[in-house]
Amino acid sequence: MFQSSRAFFTTNEHSGQSRLSEILGAFSYALDLTEGQTAGHSIRACWIGTQVAMALGLNGEELRDIYYAVLLKDLGCSANAARVSEMFAGDDRKLKHDFKLIGPQPEDFGAFVASEVGVDAQAEVREQALCNLAENGGAIMTDIMATRCSRGADIARQLRFSEDVAQAIGHLDEHWDGSGLPLGIAGADIHLGGRIALLAQVADVFYSAKGKDAAIAEIRSRAGSWFDPELCAIFEKLSAASGFWEELALDDLAEQLWELEPAAQYVTVDEDYLDDISSAFGRVIDAKSPYTAGHSERVGLIADKIAEHLGMADDRRRVLRRAAILHDVGKLGVSSAILEKPGKLDADEWQVMQSHATHTTNILGQIGVMSDMAMIAGSHHERLDGKGYPLGLDERSIALESRIITVADIFDALTTDRPYRSAMPIGKAMAILQSEAGVAVDQRCVEALQDLLAHGQLS
């Protein structure tokens, strides 16, 4: 009989504390969006990986490191999104989703390229992409994986995790037989956390797409090539036990996963840590596009300066700054083919682009300690005249914090390069904002920004 994982740990019941696993678990849904995976992929993979780690006899800090390495294995996934879209001439989210379902043989990759690359692009674009992959495919894939793994490891460090967690994330795409990327290391040289994370990832991807039998078959077929044979044997034993797949399918699996965090390693998330978490995920957001490097942090800084100028209290400003940094977290669910499009978006593309604001509200709304930020951040495209999106709010219901973020976001967007235009001079950007003051954006916020610029307080 399969024993529920909840039997292994006790739950911390201290009131007023925020569980790190719950906060980062909610953000993992944004990572799932970026990878084109079904909602909860990271949660399910973490549950599978933790079960394997416990069966292996790990506990304490070792188990906690595996837990977070698997939960956050995709921290670097946004960093290669634009390159995947460009090199494979398509929707990076679909490409990433389908790539994870191909078989382990070189001919499987060839079939993927033939069926997926540039299928919706113009003939010359598809031909160019196919030729480039034929000539440089190995180097392209190594670069794509290296970017993902190194960025993920760096962000894990920013989130205050151990070097073991960072290294495990950095080794996610290595294979037991040395055929993986980007390092080509083999066997026990691959961090145990990386070995478990890759197995758990493949198991859930095939389980979600094709069912448990397909998941078992894939793990079995890749034992000794992609995967550590010992871990495969443990997985097969666990997956054959009564209750394993039933628990994985439970609606409350996320809540059960939060209880897996070892009581001895329970982390209280204080205000400073919340700032670090917000900043780290701001980096994840900005990595989605080469045109948005530093955008989230700059919007956070500008919004904070405007709020200070308007006399907002320090504690309220701190929440505002986090919301400003995370205002575009929903863009992780938008294809880079749309984000990087140099021309005007068509009606369907524009609808997808607009959905990012709703995604932002939903993601932040899942995090108890950040739920007060959800509507603030998700309303940054609303207008005072009611013609904004996603809800069509007007001046009667748009919070001051949202108005501040809107002005900060527009100003930074106008004064930096974008796929469809070059950066504007500050004077021209402010003229546009001033022309919309009182109609689309808040007059006080625009005036505060103008004063800050006039006194050199944003340089």
Q: What are the DSSP calls for 428-450, one per residue?
A: HHHHHHHHHBTTTB-HHHHHHHH
Please tell me the total count of domains within the chain: 2
Report, as an integer, the average pLDDT of 388-406: 97
User: What average pLDDT score do residues 114-138 get?
Assistant: 96
Band (pLDDT 50/70/90 cuts) for residue 113 is very high
Contact 174, 187 (CB under 8 A): no
Same domain, 440 and 352: yes
Give yes or no: residues 316 and 361 share one domain: yes
Domain boundary among 247, 265, 283: 265
pLDDT band at 295 (very low <50, low <70, confident <90, very high): very high
pLDDT in tens, 55-89: 999 998 999 999 999 999 999 999 999 999 999 99
248 and 152, same structural domain? yes
The answer to whether residue 1 scores a pLDDT higher than 70 is no
Residue 7 falls within a domain, yes or no? Answer: no
Residues 323 and 219 in one domain: no
Whether residue 1 contacts residue 47, with contact meaning beta carbons closer than 8 Å, is answered with no
Statement to judge: residues 163 and 289 lie in one domain: no
**Last residue of a domain, which of 216, 233, 265?**
265
Instruction: Return all residues near 267 (Cβ < 8 A) that are at least 6 apart.
Output: 19, 20, 261, 273
Omega before 106 cis (within 30°)? Answer: no
| CA-to-CA separations, 1 to 157, 179, 239, 244, in angstroms, rounded | 39, 37, 11, 9
pLDDT tens, residue by residue, 352-388: 999 999 999 999 998 888 999 999 999 999 999 999 9
Residues 6+ apart with CB under 8 A from 436: none
- pLDDT on residue 277: 96
Would you say residue 122 lies in a domain?
Answer: no
**pTM of the entire structure?**
0.92
- Do residues 234 and 331 share a domain? no
pLDDT digits (tens, 9 = 90+) for 149-166: 999 999 999 999 999 999
Which position has the token pair 């739950």? 11
pLDDT exceeds cutoff 60 at 2: no
CATH code, 35: 1.10.3210.10
Catalytic residue among 73, 237, 331, 428: 331
Residue 256's domain spans which residues? 12-79+146-265
- Give the pLDDT score at 133: 96
Last residue of a domain, one of 265, 282, 313: 265
Write out pLDDT tens, residues 14-54.
Answer: 334 568 888 999 999 999 999 999 999 999 999 999 999 99
Q: Note whether 285 and 81 are within 8 A (CB).
A: no
- Does a structural domain hold residue 106? no
- Whether 237 sits among the annotated catalytic residues: the reply is no
Q: What is the DSSP letter of 313?
A: -
pLDDT, averaged across the chain: 93
pLDDT value at residue 359: 95
- Closest to 28 in 3D by CA, of 12, 6, 47: 47
Cα separation, 352 vs 293, in Å, equals 22
- Clarify whether residues 340 and 413 are in a common domain: yes
- CA-closest candidate to residue 280, choices 104, 452, 156, 102: 156
Q: Is residue 300, in this structure, part of any structural domain at all?
A: yes
pLDDT of 291 reads 87
**Which amino acid, residue 154?**
D
Phi, psi of 421 (to 5 degrees): -170, 160
Residue 307 lies in a domain: yes
Do residues 34 and 178 share a domain? yes
190 and 56 together in one domain: yes
Q: Which residue has the tokens 């294995």?
A: 73
Task: Give the pLDDT score at 3.
Answer: 40
Residue 11 pLDDT: 33
| Whether 411 contacts 404, CB under 8 Å | no
In terms of residues, how long is the chain? 459
Contact 47, 394 (CB under 8 A): no
Q: What is the DSSP letter of 314?
A: H
Residue 32 falls inside a structural domain? yes
* φ, ψ at 310 (rounded to 5°): -85, 0
Going by C-alpha positions, the residue among 363, 408, 256 that lies closest to residue 34 is 363
394 assigned to some structural domain = yes
Q: Tell me, what's the pLDDT at 292?
A: 86
- 139-170 b/e with 16+ CB inside 10 Å = b? ebbebbbbbbbbbbbbbbeebebbebbbbbbb
Whole-number Å distance between alpha carbons of 27 and 238: 28
pLDDT per residue as tens digits for the range 177-223: 999 999 999 999 999 999 999 999 999 999 999 999 999 999 999 99
Q: How far apart are CA 323 and CA 412, in angstroms?
A: 16
**Residue 227, phi then psi, degrees to nearest 5:** -115, 150
Residue 245: exposure state from Cβ atoms within 10 A (0-12, 13-18, ≥19):
middle
Same domain, 184 and 42: yes
Contact 52, 234 (CB under 8 A): yes
**Is 259 a domain residue?**
yes
Q: Give the pLDDT band of residue 267 (cuts 50, 70, 90).
A: low
CA end-to-end distance (rounded Å), the chain: 64
Which of these, 377, 288, 397, 268, lies nearest to 333 by C-alpha position? 288
Cα 344 from Cα 348, distance rounded (Å): 12
CA distance linking residue 6 with residue 54, whole number of Å = 12
CB of 44 within 8 A of CB of 248?
yes
Do 218 and 326 belong to one domain? no
Grade residue 262 by pLDDT with cuts at 50, 70 and 90: low
Same-domain status, 284 and 247 = no
Band (263; pLDDT cuts 50, 70, 90): very low
Give the pLDDT of residue 28: 96
Q: How far apart are CA 255 and CA 327, in angstroms?
A: 26
Residues 6+ apart with CB under 8 A from 292: 285, 286, 328
Q: Token match 């959905």: residue?
A: 355
